[in-house]
Structure 1
């Protein structure tokens, strides 16, 4: 079985960190007010634990070769778009990868209305190219049509 992998953004280091597990740090309102902090996550990395922003944490979903022929690891919270046989089409709108939860335990793209796993379908078909655009944490304006 593949070990879980996560990524999260640290405002202390101003960079993304990758780890194998995390712990959610919930603080009382009084403590947050006194320290000027928000709830956050401790991401366990190979080197040492790192405090990262809660909204930035995503679990590894899959690895694809993007349109630039670069292997790209995709995580929940990443923004991608699809190109069919070299042509941009309605699927070219930016979409965010998300975990479906208990009712739909799979990674998929948010914002489609079909009864299938669009991410899996497009990745496995071999007919769609995927372009990695960034993360929803750093580029929320790319997703305005899905909010």
Structure 2
């Protein structure tokens, strides 16, 4: 089995552990929560990407294996986020400086990260309020997906505070 086949096989096994996040092989998608890789005919480069609230290229290379390896890393990061995210949030929370974590409730205050069920949209909503009181909301079909997203935001916030 080639290196490419091994990586793709591992990714296929792991993608069952990442909820509704889709993984695309040699396809360029920007319209849903997912990640993948493709060949960009314009640039003549292989590219791996992640899309959701934002779309970004995670790796560019002339070598297909390089971008598949980056896609594998992205899938592994996503799998890690799905493994007991609530427990991880509770471990990080005491270490965060002045950023309250609000679980299953809405907060209008500045600097807060959390999630709640929105009866108007009939979806779970996550939010990140900044210091000016503006909020970034994302919506999910199930509570687990919302908790995973909160964990990712908390993890990023913690990393930012470490630097």
TMscore range, shorter length: under 0.3
Q: Which has the higher strand share?
A: 1
Name the TM-score, length of structure 1 as normaliser: 0.27
Q: Which one scores higher on RCO, CA 8 angstroms, separation ≥ 6?
A: 1
More helix per residue: 2
